[in-house]
Every structure is written in structure tokens, then in C-alpha cells.
Structure 1
Amino acid sequence: MRIDIYRRAEHAGHFSYLAVPEGRLLPEEVVNTDWEPTDRSVDLADNATHLADFAIDNPFGQINAKGYAITSVKALPSKPPRPS
């Protein structure tokens, strides 16, 4: 399967990512946020259980359930880094 990747800025310079099947529009429930396209036509291996570059777990399960896969909030740091 090929997917398109979008990202949005979170706190402290981190990003969350959204993966949708190639060529599909963003689902209505996420269209109101500031997603920007980052990668097009990314190959998603048939046995992929995690997209490490985008911190997305269970991409096929998420896409089958809701039409997209998204970075887990658990993958984002809870606190911004301390200034050095």
C-alpha cells in the first residue's frame, strides 16, 4: 500500500503525523487542524506494524478502522526540553 503523510506542529518543536492511503482526501474529523503534506506515495510494507519515522503504531489497523493512521500522543514527549 502507498500512503501520503501529513504533519502538524505540536509543543516544543515536535510534530505529530497522519497517514492516509495515497490520493485520498483528509478525513473530515481532521480537516479542521493544520496538517501540512510532507511525504507523498510512501511505500507501506504489507507486514508493517510500526512507522518509526512518524511514530505511528499499527498503521493498517488504524487505517482499516478509521481511514487514517496517526501518531500516538504517547509518542510525543510530555514536557518540553529544558533550556541548556
Structure 2
Amino acid sequence: MKVDVYKRPDSDGLFSYLVIPHEKPLPQEVTNTDWQMHEQDVNFERDGKRHFTLQAEDAYKQIGEKGYAITHINERARDGAT
């Protein structure tokens, strides 16, 4: 699946990631936060690996349910720790 990846700073130097199918707009419920484009047109595969702090299967499930996937609070990462 091709996706666009957004990133935002959280507290304590941690970052969250938002993954949206490529070329889809930001969902209305997240447009009032500080999401910044991180990478575009990224291959996001169901390979059992972690992508941008997101577990692949969990991300696919989130995308299927709400159209996007977002980092869980306990899975945020320091900058550069993707």
C-alpha cells in the first residue's frame, strides 16, 4: 500500500505518526493538530515489521476502520527513532 506519512511533536521529545493512503486528504478530526508532512508515497507493507512506530497489522486495521492509522500513546518515539 502506498501511504503518506505525517509526524507531530508530542511532549517529552516524543513524536507520533499518522499514516494515510497516498494522496488522500488529512481527516477532519486531525486537521486541528500540528501534523507535518514527513514522507510521501511510501511503501507500507504487511510484513510484520514496525513502520514509523506503527505495527503493520494494527495500521492496516486502523486504516480499514477509520481511513488512517495513528501511533498509540505508548508507542511514540524520539525524533529519528522510526
Classify the TM-score, shorter chain.
0.7 to 0.9
- Number of residues of Structure 1 aligned to a counterpart in Structure 2: 75
8 Å contact kept, 1:17–1:54: yes
Q: Check 1:72–1:49 CA distance in 2 against 1; reply closer, same or farther (3 A cut).
A: farther
Gap regions ≥5 residues in structure 1: 78-84
Residue 52 of structure 2 corresponds to 54
Residue 48 (structure 1) shift? 3.7
Q: Please, what is the CA RMSD of the aligned residues? A: 1.6
- Structure 2 unaligned spans of 5+: 78-82
Tell me the equivalent position of 1:81: none
Deviations 1:4-35 (A, max 9, x none): 00011011211100000000000000011010
Give the % identical residues.
Answer: 37
TM-score, normalising length: structure 1 = 0.80
> Computing the radius of gyration over CA atoms, which structure comes out larger, 1 or 2?
1
The CA distance in 1 between the partners of 2:38 and 2:30, in whole Å, is 16
Cα distance in 2, alignment partners of residues 49 and 19 from structure 1: 16
Considering fraction of residues, name the structure with more strand: 2
Extract structure 1 runs of 4+ deviating beyond 3 A: none
- Cα–Cα, structure 1 residues 54 and 20, in superposed 2: closer, same or farther, change >3 Å? same
